[in-house]
Chains A and B, each alone.
Chain A
Amino acid sequence: MTLHPLVSMILHRLALGLLTLFAISLFIFFAIELLPGDLAEEVLGQSATPETVEAFRRELGLDQPAMLRYFNWLGGVVRGDFGTSLANGRDIAELLAGRFANTLFLAIYAAAIAVPLSITLGLLAALYRGSWFDRAVNILTLTSISFPEYFVAYILLLYFSVTWGLFPSIADFGSDADLSTMLFRTFLPALTLVLVVTAHMMRMTRAAIINLLAQPYIEMARLKGASPVRVILRHALPNALAPIVNVVALNLAYLVTGVVIVEVVFVYPGLGQLMVDSVAKRDIPVVQACCLIFAGIYILLNLGADVLAIATNPRLMHRK
């Protein structure tokens, strides 16, 4: 059976992604084994009697060999069962579900604004490179990527919420809010994220286009009488898609996995905040679960970017 080269390449990448995810799950699980003691001792601390530690160990299944525990855990994960939290004994899958939805909502909200905005700005900056517009955008975005997220978040909070009272400072919208309430209440965290990722994506878009402007085929387009807009959109952009798609994927991944800070500042009940709380409490099963989900999303997005990059490259799509 012969497959289209694109299909076989996607399958190849998919297999590679699964392999990476498997390797990460191994890492996540066995990193704990590197501890001098074990989980039970770590959690209960110095003061616990050997009997309690022993009992706790049995409860966690730590008396079984690590390999067996790993496959039990992995088997559970595949079925959607992440075990129970050490801190409050609740089912982890249940704990995650709602928060994961919240994190995704915020990420999509921010992405819907940031992606079109940054690509448009990037193309404009490339078109008018060297102009005052380009220079101003350069300084602004350079500043914006240098700021810690919480700095941006607190400035927005100070003005939009405390001083002007336009938007709420706490982004929790409860369980039965309608869409417009949700969008309103999460406006400030979304805006923070937009500011942070737009700068990066816009700079990379501009750089990807400008990199290509020195290419001979761009000179050819100019010598055929093409206008500057046509040169950028028809001749540079198609060849810059792969790096642009890549940087968009990277930033989308960031929107899902890097929102921790923003969630903490605006007290938003997302996955990131849960993870931070769990790290502080050393609730390791929950941390492992969050970590695996984040890694999965990250790999999925990169996979998507790879496939898109292949699909837009005629060298790979149309073999000799």
Chain B
Amino acid sequence: MTSISLKSVPLTALFGIVVITGFLLTGLFADLLAPFAETEIVGMEFEPWGGDYLLGTDNLGRDMLSRLIFGARNSIGIALATTVLAFTIGTALGLLASVLGGLTDQALSRLVDMLIAIPSLVFALLLLSIFGTSILMLVLIIAMLEMTRVFRLSRAVAMNVVVMDYVEAVRLRGEGLGWLVRREILPNIMAPLVAEFGLRFCFVFLAISALSFLGLGIQPPTADWGSMVRDNAALITFGDITPLLPAGCIALLTVSINFVVDWMLHRASGLKD
């Protein structure tokens, strides 16, 4: 069951895996791949495609292709860090709530209910207006918002395991919390959590890029796909598709992740019966 033959992977998922790998490698080796430096002004503003600048230059005369490549590192890196943070906190609290139950569960669940009752983009805007826009703030704020969703899911799936007789047997044995969580519960909820990680990453990635697009996320001169759309948006009214390139990169990556997650979920549900 663990070995997956390449043939059984659907085309969409295969496509997704290839694209995700491509983007990750691009991000990792951005220094080697990019023809120019991230913030270097190399030519005139809005130079057309071709010649020295394969995809032209942006609103300040920086090389578009190089910025797209560095954008892969920055945009994906920041979103990944945020997702990891959201997951660590959300899963830890979710497990705690499900295992301890009672007051701990009540308190955490009500708190999360309240946080979820505020639409997250609005919430993020409020916090950014108060604390100002810096990458650290952005990561912390989005992580806190997404943490609530991770909490709900991990609590729900852990609850399904906690009611099992083998967990009762372990409690009756007198085992501590650490054993219960690490050895009995976590191994049984990994599959849904991994799928959720993919979906959460997409949400985080889209949320940060939306804020950047609004000029409230990742700040210049850092190359970032969301802000690059904003910087070059004016071109669209002249029928130039350059601003669609960074937007397309975002779309391509999230589509790919969704394809892979969709396949994973389908497999998991298929294995049940």
Contact = CB atoms under 8 A, between A and B. Distances in A.
Interface of A: 20, 23-24, 27-28, 31-32, 34-35, 138-139, 142-143, 145-151, 154-155, 157-158, 162-163, 169, 253-254, 257-258, 260-261, 264-265, 275-276, 278-280, 282-284, 287-288, 290-291, 294-295, 298-299, 302
22 contacts: A20-B114, A24-B118, A34-B130, A139-B12, A142-B258, A142-B259, A143-B255, A146-B202, A148-B250, A148-B251, A151-B247, A162-B236, A162-B237, A257-B121, A260-B125, A279-B128, A279-B129, A284-B129, A287-B126, A295-B118, A298-B117, A298-B119
B119 A280 contact: no
B213 interface: yes
Given A20-B113, A24-B114, A28-B126, A261 B247 contact: no
B185 to A, nearest CB: 24
Interface string B89-121: 000000000000000000000000110011101
B117 A291 contact: no
Contacts of B220: none
Nearest to B229: A150
B196 interface: no
B210 A151 contact: no
B130 A32 contact: yes
Contacts of A169: 237
A282 B129 contact: yes
Given A264-B214, A276-B214, 11 more contacts: A139-B12, A147-B254, A151-B247, A158-B236, A158-B244, A257-B121, A258-B119, A258-B121, A279-B216, A282-B132, A291-B122
Contacts of B262: 138, 142
B135 to A, nearest CB: 17
B15 to A, nearest CB: 10
Contacts of B233: 154, 265
A20 B209 CA distance: 29
B125 A279 contact: yes
Contact of A157 (B113, B213, B236): B236
B187 interface: no
Contact of B248 (A151, A163, A264, A284): A151
Contact of A261 (B127, B213, B243): B213
B218 to A, nearest CB: 14
Interface string B237-273: 1110101100110110011011100100000000000
A64 B117 CA distance: 30
A143 B121 CA distance: 22
Nearest to A23: B114
Contacts of A258: 119, 121
A290 B122 contact: yes
Interface residues of B, number: 45
Interface string B121-155: 11101111111100000000000000000000000
B239 A31 contact: no
A280 B233 CA distance: 19
A158 B233 CA distance: 11
B130 A154 contact: no
B64 to A, nearest CB: 16
B241 A294 contact: no
Contacts of B238: 162
Nearest to B230: A150
A138 B266 CA distance: 12
Contact of B239 (A138, A150, A158): A158
Nearest to A260: B121
Contacts of A35: 130-131
B35 interface: no
Contact of B117 (A139, A261, A280, A302): A302
A169 B215 CA distance: 21
Nearest to A145: B258
Nearest to A32: B130
A157 B206 CA distance: 20
Contacts of B244: 151, 154-155, 158
B215 A280 contact: yes
Given A20-B113, A154-B236, A298-B119, A148 B125 contact: no
A142 B255 contact: yes
A284 B130 contact: yes
Contacts of A151: 229, 244, 247-248, 250-251
A133 B255 CA distance: 20
Contact of B206 (A32, A148, A278): A148
Interface centre among B121, B130, B258 (most CB of A within 10 A): B130
A261 B210 contact: yes
B201 to A, nearest CB: 11
Contacts of A157: 236
A149 B119 contact: no
A158 B119 contact: no
A27 B127 CA distance: 10
A134 to B, nearest CB: 13
Contact of A291 (B126, B210, B243, B247): B126
Contacts of A295: 117-119, 122
Q: Closest 7 CB pairs between A and B?
A: A146-B254, A151-B247, A257-B119, A279-B129, A146-B255, A294-B122, A147-B251
A151 B255 CA distance: 13
A254 B119 CA distance: 8
